[in-house]
Amino acid sequence: MDEKSAQKLNELRSYANFAPYLLPMLEKRKKAAQSRLISNYHSAADLLGPTAEIAILYDMEREILSKLKELESFNT
């Protein structure tokens, strides 16, 4: 394995170590934001804030999952 690949693998492994903590936390935050969105909509900010947050959290989740998939393909 060349140096670049080793570096990449290292990075992916660090994602894999981080994922078990990050993914449940993202899920928790998503639920909280969804609940805020449903229960409180008195102004545009009440809709914009949680909506943007949910979108960003989904984006983070997608990023982590894609890294994990990449690691899986790397290992095989």
Q: Tell me which residues touch another protein (CB under 8 A).
A: 17-18, 21-22, 25-26, 29, 43-45, 48-49, 52-53, 56-57, 59-60
Secondary structure letter of residue 43 according to DSSP: S
Nearer to another protein among residue 9 and residue 19 (C-beta): 19
**Residue 23 · residue 64 · CB < 8 Å:** yes
**Length, in residues, of the chain:** 76
- Please state the closest distance from residue 76 (CB atom) to another protein, in A: 27
Q: Which residues contact 13 (CB under 8 A, 6 or more apart)?
A: 71
Nearer to another protein among residue 27 and residue 72 (C-beta): 27
